[in-house]
Structure 1
Amino acid sequence: MSARRTPWWYYPIAVGGGLLGGALLAKYDEMSGLSLLGVPWFISALLLLIGATVLVMALRVHKYATTDPRKRVGMKPLDPQAAVSTLVLAKALALVGAALTGWYGGQILMCLEHAEAQYYAQAILECAIACAACVIDMVIGIVGEWLCQLPPMDGPESATMKEASRQRTIAPTAAKTRNVRS
């Protein structure tokens, strides 16, 4: 399976889509009189908890992938499916964090003109905290995606492989020379 890095322009598109959605929700809330703005406090905490979980998983994958196989003796083996799932979670966290940043940011922008009202002031505060949590999640997702990448494999043209090949050809020749002299 081959996975590619998420292109940078996906994030501004996600933020823009979320911004539009959040602004439309705030406008609908204003027109209809429904109380749809804001976000419960535990949602921000839950978003940060999810981000921390993905970061821990990505760090585990990174540690396993960058450790020399000869030094993995005491390490618990890493399930390849778990590594791929961690990568997918990191990608999803980054994109959802970007979209929700826009969503809550759009609500904030549309509520600023009514900030003197208690309802809107509370919605702005809740959305600002959620927006900060989502930015943190987006950064964790991007970093987690980077942590899940595998180190480059040494191909036959690399300096390391050429040196190893040279050592393999020298060793048998030296052994033959010693046997002839004996």
Structure 2
Amino acid sequence: MRMHRTPWWQYVIALLLGLLAGAGLAKISESSGVSLIGAPWFVSLLLLALGIMVLVMALQVHQYATTDPAKRARLKPLNPDMAVTTLMLAKALGLAGAALAGWYGGQILMILEHLEADYFAQTAIQCGIAAVICLIDMAIGIVGEWLCQLPPMEGPENPKMKEAQRRRAMASATAKTRH
């Protein structure tokens, strides 16, 4: 199975969709009189803990994947399912972090004109902290995805093998021109 890195534009789309959804929710909340905006503190703490957990797991995968096979025997064996799960969590964390950063940012944009009211000022602070944590989670997701990359195998895609093949081709071309 071959995994590809998440393209940058998917993060931008997730951020923009979250921004539109958050702004829409704030507008609906304003017009209906029902408070749907804000971010409870425990949600921000939970998102931060989730980001740290994914980063620690990705660092473990990276350490195992980049360790010399001779030294790898001293490390605890890495479960391949855990490595794939870590990669998927990193991908999901990056996209969810982008969408949620947009969500909380959209709410902030819609309540900026009401900041003189204590409730809206408090909500803007909550959403601002949550948005920053979500941006951190997005960055952790992107870095975690990179950390879960495996080095190329000793096959045709390995840079060493490509260089050796290029040298052989040059040597044979040189040998042909001499004869």
Residue in 2 aligned with 1:102?
102
Residue in 1 aligned with 2:85?
85
> Structure 2 matches for 1:56-71, cutoff 5 A?
56-71=56-71
Q: Give ranges in structure 2 of 5+ residues lacking alignment.
A: 165-179
Residue in 2 aligned with 1:44?
44
- How many residues of Structure 1 are paired with residues of Structure 2 in the alignment? 163
The structure with the larger Rg is 1
Question: Aligned equivalents of 1:159 and 1:19: distance in 2?
Answer: 45
Q: Does 1:10 align with 2:10?
A: yes
- What's the CA shift string for 1:140-169, capped at 9, x where partnerless? 00000000000122336854695xxxxxxx
Residue in 1 aligned with 2:154?
154
Residue in 2 aligned with 1:169?
none
What is the aligned-residue identity percentage?
65
TM-score, reference length from structure 1: 0.86
Question: Aligned equivalents of 1:98 and 1:27: distance in 2?
Answer: 21
Runs of 4+ in 1 over 6 A off after TM superposition: none
Question: Aligned equivalents of 1:82 and 1:114: distance in 2?
Answer: 47
Question: Aligned equivalents of 1:158 and 1:95: distance in 2?
Answer: 31
Question: Aligned equivalents of 1:95 and 1:148: distance in 2?
Answer: 16
Q: CA deviation at 1:74?
A: 1.4
Question: Aligned equivalents of 1:97 and 1:159: distance in 2?
Answer: 37
2:8 partner SS: coil
Instruction: Look up the equivalent residue of 2:67 and give its one-letter code.
Output: T
CA RMSD of aligned residues (A): 1.7
Question: Aligned equivalents of 1:160 and 1:2: distance in 2?
Answer: 20
Instruction: Look up the equivalent residue of 2:11 and give its one-letter code.
Output: Y
TM-score, reference length from structure 2: 0.87
Residue in 2 aligned with 1:145?
145
Question: Aligned equivalents of 2:115 and 2:159: distance in 1?
Answer: 62
1:9 partner SS: helix
1:39 partner SS: coil
